[in-house]
């Protein structure tokens, strides 16, 4: 069965929240015997709740998945 893991991509200071935030990506790792590469399927930000309270939201979370490498 494939495994899903949230992995930290970076820590940035968000101008909207005015504090450091963590940007995480959800990576799906295939079963060991399949040759498929890991896939990034979603992103999340640790400041989403606070940021969502603002009227003008311009999020810094990437729209395209970052390159990922399978863990050894």
25-29: long-range contacts at Cβ-Cβ below 8 A with a sequence spacing of 24 or more? 25/65, 25/66, 25/68, 27/68, 28/2, 28/3, 28/4, 29/2, 29/3, 29/4, 29/5, 29/70, 29/71
CA 11 to chain centre: 11
**Where do the domains of the chain lie?**
3-51
CA 68 to chain centre: 11
Q: Check whether 34 has a pLDDT greater than 50.
A: yes
* pLDDT tens per residue across span 38-64: 899 888 888 877 776 665 556 666 555
What is the arithmetic mean of pLDDT over 4-26? Answer: 87
């Amino acid at each position: 069965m494939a495994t899903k893991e949230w992995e930290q991509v970076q820590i940035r200071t968000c101008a909207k929240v005015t504090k450091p935030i963590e940007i995480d990506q959800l990576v799906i790792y295939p079963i060991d015997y399949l040759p498929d590469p890991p896939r990034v399927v979603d992103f999340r930000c640790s400041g989403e709740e606070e940021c969502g309270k603002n009227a003008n939201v311009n999020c810094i979370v990437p729209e395209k998945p970052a390159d990922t490498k399978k863990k050894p």
